[in-house]
Structure formats: structure tokens, C-alpha cells
Amino acid sequence: MTTSITIRPRDRDALLQALRAGVVPRTGQYLIQVGRAREIQALIADIDRIAAGGTTFRVVVGAYGAGKTFFLNQVRAIALEKKLVAISADLNPDRRLHATGGQARSLYAELMKNMATRSKPDGGALASVLEKFIGMVLDESRTSGDNPDQLIFRKCAQLTEMVGGYDFATVVTAYWRGHNNGNETLKLDAIRWMRGEFTTKTDARLALGVRTIVDDSTVYDHIKLMATFVRLAGYGGLLVGLDEIVNLYKLANTQSRNANYEQLLRILNDVLQGTIEGLGFLIGCTPDSLLDTRRGIYSYAALQSRLAENTFSSGGLVDYSHPVLRLSALTREDFFVLLEKIRLVYASGDPAKFLLPDEGIAAFMSHCERRVGEAYFRTPRTTITSFINLLALLDQYPDTPWDSLIERVEVAKDDGAAVEAETISDDKGDEGLAEFKL
């Protein structure tokens, strides 16, 4: 028998609106989590490693609509609970790992805008991290009697040894001056610099006295600086989430694509060699964008050799410690439990308000299987949308028998594979050649 739970109206509405639109909810994910316990356990071990000063690199592979982004967001939420700082962004034509036209800086700016902590899980936490660092310095100053300016200089000495670290430390000091003198403009300029919002070095020099800015060539260096800084501010480390890597796969220009894969290789080498502390990368991609040896990640030989699967993983054996983590498909039983949880959320946690009985869920699943086959639970995004549409009608027309509506439910296969086949044009041609498909 289903027990009642307390669900805040705000969480209920946000969760249902996101699922109905086919997007991943930012809040309330724990209410509908099913299956994949081993995968979650493996990522929790990664988070603990980051908090202990280690590093991690994971490529999470899942088909369109299979719950990959939901899984990444759930891991992000766990990282926040374990006192890590999380930054995340989706790649798109204007946000890449490597570029010469500002696309890499745009990715960095999006990452910094989405910075989240346990107290600010929805993003915009950069100012909070800086304030926490200043607060720790002031507390230590009161205890030791040292001058706060000298303490900040000593704490930031570790940053000055890294690429771009001197200017980073200068900006942190500028933020402290603005904090100490009540100069909000100086504080805002410091945050703008850290977010990568300065577009010219002249503006940065006039505002903060630094000679560099975040540009396309220094994005990864600044991510490493931020990982070190959040640890100085008292956090466990930095988790970087990059989703929609398929947008690199869709780049038509071979040179641009390989430059992005080379940047990915640089990150992978740094992380696996342990040359940095408290930094983890969580990357989401589809099977084709990883395995395609013509345009995918495996088209870059060095990445293919490092990410090659464990040859002993066969016959149902899965290596959950491997850098590549394939999300297992949901089973029919998992999907039934998922629909039960969505039904409970729709009823605001009260089983007495269920709009559909258990046999109604079973009838809905049978209808979906007749329409689209096993795809209805293996890539369940569109199926979940249809189920919530059914509940919405039952809610608005309570006198309508549920069995009369089941056959009217329209269910379509997720067309993500067609989207993946598209290519993104670049400013530079591929030596006058174009890729095409018959």
C-alpha cells in the first residue's frame, strides 16, 4: 500500500511542469528517482574522492530520452549536499570547449552563472563563495591578530603559482577592498571578471588593474583556478558538469571538432594524472557521439585509447569504476514504479487523491508498448509526458472513466536520433569539402 508523503506545492508544480514539457526538473528529483543504484553509488564515490582532494573524470553515456540529463542533475544535487561547489552548462553552437570566436568564453560564462552551492542550489553562487572566503579570512584575522590584507595575500599565494593565478589573486584582493570600503562597483567588477564578462583587456585594466581576461584560450586554466579557490573558501572541491557533448559531434568542420576533442584530452590527462586537486568532470553524451570513429570522441585516437572499455566487462559484468559509465536502461518494473511515483506527486503525496488505479497504470503501459514497442520504457521521456497529459485530463474531467481515455493517448518515439544526425556549420570550411548523407 502506498504511504502518503509531504510534497510542497511549489516542488510539485515545478516537477510536473518540467516533466510535461519533456525537460529535466531542477528540483524534486528525489521524488521520482528509480533504479540505477549501482551507478549512483559509483558517482557518490567519485564525489567523496573530490572532497578528499582527488580528481575524477566520467563520461556518462545514454541515448536521447533515456534519463541521462536527469542522472547528471541528480549527481549534482548529491555533490551540493556533500559541500562541493557545482558548475554546469550545456554545450551548443555558441558554447564549446575550444574556439576562436568567443564560444569557449561563452561556455565559461555560463558555467560561472550556474555556479551552485548547498545554500544556493539554483545557481548564481559566485558572490556567495567570495563572501564565504572573505568571512573565513576575517574570522582567522580576529583569532590570530594578523592584518586581513596580509592573510588574503598568503592564502592566495597558492593561486599565483598557477597559470593566470596572479591576476586571479589580484581580483580576489580587489573584491576584498570593495567589501572593506563599501565599494559595490569594485565588487561587481571583480565578479564580472571572474564570470568572464570582460571582453577587452583595457576595460579590465581600468576597472581592476589586471592585464588579462578570461578568453577562449584560458578557459580551462580558469576552471582549475576556481577549483583551487573554492577549496580555499572552505568547500570540498569543484564538480564541472558538461552536457550535450553531442554538439561537438555535430560540428561539420573537422579542424574545429578535433580542436575541441584535443581540449577534452587535455582535461582527461590532467585529471587522471592527478596534477590538480579537488576537481571533477561529469560529461554527458550519446552513444553515437562517443563511439563514432569518424566524427565522435573515438575519432580522436588518443581519447579512444584512454576511454576504451574494459575488455573483461561482458556477460552482465559492468565496470562501474571505468571513466565511461553507460546508463543501464530502465526495466518494465522500474518504469511501473516511476509512473507510480509520478501519480503520487500529481496527488500531492496523498494516495486518497489518486486519479488512476494500479490497473490503469498497467493498461497505459500495455497501450504504449503496442504503439512504440520497448522504447516506451527504455527512452521514457515522451511516454512520461503522455502519462502526465492523461492525468491532467482525468483531473479536469473527474467523471470520465480512465479506461475510455487510455486508447486516445498519443505516444511517439523520441526523435533525438534524428536531431543528432544534424551538423553545425562553422565559420571556416573544411578545406572546401562538405559532409553529406544519402
Going from N- to C-terminal start, the domains of the chain cover 1-35+330-411, 36-124+236-326, 127-216
DSSP 68-128: HHHHHHHHHHHHHHTT-EEEEEE-BTTB-SS-SSSHHHHHHHHHHHT-B-SS-TTS--HHH
Tell whether the model's pLDDT for residue 323 goes beyond 80. Answer: yes
User: Which distant-in-sequence residues (6+ apart) come within 8 Å of 375 by Cβ?
Assistant: 413, 414
> What is the rounded distance in angstroms from the CA atom of residue 116 to the CA atom of residue 122?
6
Q: Which has the minimum average pLDDT: 67-76, 389-398, 422-431? A: 422-431
The residue behind cell 508523503 is: 5
* Kind and range of the H or E run holding 240: strand 238-243
CB 342 within 8 A of CB 388: yes
The proportion of the chain whose per-residue pLDDT surpasses 90, expressed as a percent, equals 54
Radius of gyration of the chain (CA): 24
Residue 431: pLDDT over 50: no
pTM value is 0.86
Pairing of strands 279-285, 85-90: unpaired
Indicate the pairing of strand 55-61 with strand 324-326: parallel
> Phi-psi category of 344—alpha, beta or left, where left has phi over 0 and alpha has psi -120 to 50?
alpha
Contact 247, 256 (CB under 8 A): no
- DSSP, collapsed to helix, strand or coil, labels residue 424 as strand
- pLDDT surpasses 50 at 223: yes
φ, ψ (nearest 5 deg) of residue 283 = -120, 130
Pairwise CA distance, residues 112 & 125, whole Å: 8
Q: Please answer whether residues 169 and 212 qualify as being in contact, where contact means their C-beta atoms are separated by less than 8 angstroms.
A: no
* Secondary element (H or E) of residue 210: none
Q: How far is CA 293 from CA 53, 113, 251, in A?
A: 35, 34, 14
Q: Is the pLDDT of residue 175 over 90?
A: yes
pLDDT at 265 exceeding the cut of 80: yes
Is 379 within 8 Å of 22 (Cβ atoms)?
no
- 340 vs 49, 158, 335, 345, 360, CA distance in Å? 35, 52, 9, 9, 11
Residue 430 has pLDDT above 50, yes or no: no
Contact 43, 78 (CB under 8 A): yes
Confidence at residue 422, expressed as pLDDT on a 0 to 100 scale = 62
Count the Cβ atoms, other than its own, within 10 Å of residue 395: 12
Instruction: Give the total residue count for the chain.
Output: 438
From CA 82, how far away is CA 15, in angstroms rounded? 23
Exposure of 428 by Cβ count < 10 A (0-12 exposed, 13-18 middle, 19+ buried)? exposed
Compute the average pLDDT of residues 236-246: 94
The three grid cell numbers given for residue 47, joined into one nine-digit string:
564525489
116 DSSP assignment: B
Indicate the fold that domain 36-124+236-326 takes in CATH: Rossmann fold (3.40.50)
Average pLDDT over residues 391-409: 86
- Percentage, residues of the chain above pLDDT 70: 92
Ramachandran category for residue 343: left, alpha or beta (phi over 0 → left; psi -120 to 50 → alpha): alpha
Adjacent-strand bridge partners of 95: 92
Mean pLDDT throughout 408-419?
A: 62
Q: How confident is the model at residue 248 (pLDDT cuts 50, 70, 90)?
A: very high
Grade residue 151 by pLDDT with cuts at 50, 70 and 90: confident
Rounded Cα distance between 179 and 251, Å, is 44
pLDDT attached to residue 284: 93
Residue-level pLDDT at 432: 40
Residues 6+ apart with CB under 8 A from 401: none
Give the residue from 236, 210, 240, 211 showing the smallest Cα distance to 223: 240
Please state the rounded mean pLDDT for residues 51-56. Answer: 94
